[in-house]
Amino acid sequence: MAQTTTAPAAEATLSGDRMKGCCQPVARPIPEPQAERLATLHRALSDPTRIQMLHMLKAASQPICVCDFTAAFELSQPTVSHHLGRLREAGLVSSFRRGIWAFYRLRPDLDPAAAAALALVP
């Protein structure tokens, strides 16, 4: 019976002083600030109510008042504001005040990752 020999496993160099892996070279990690921005974006998109809000904002010809979101979802104003705050934190929406009400709209200057994510919302 013939014996099969395997080649030694290749190691991937990630930096000049560090060796990792045994089978496949892997890409370098992305910069931490970029990873955090993407994670914030994905966390913002992980809630069905926020997806619905983005859908409504995409379809709107004018900024939407927080009171209209409150009525549409039958949620309390603080809960609606929390959801909108998460979308604002992710860079998807901007807001302005008119009297006591806050109005929201999609940001016109979305970064490429946010624009790509928003393109998936009907």
Tens of pLDDT, residues 28-61: 999 999 999 999 999 999 999 999 999 999 999 9
Question: What token pair was written down for 13?
Answer: 């160099």
Per domain, the residue ranges of the chain are 34-119
Section 64-72 average pLDDT: 94
The arithmetic mean of pLDDT across residues 61-74, rounded, is 94
* 19-30 pLDDT, tens digit each: 566 788 889 999
Query: Alpha-carbon distance 117 to 42, whole Å?
Result: 9
The model's pTM is: 0.76
Which residues lie closer than 8 Å to 24 by C-beta, 6 or more apart? Answer: 10, 12
DSSP calls for 8-77: PPP-EEEETTEEE-SSS--PPPPPHHHHHHHHHHHHHTTSHHHHHHHHHHHH-SS-EEHHHHHHHHT--H
* pLDDT-above-90 percentage for the chain: 77
CATH class, domain 34-119, is: mainly alpha
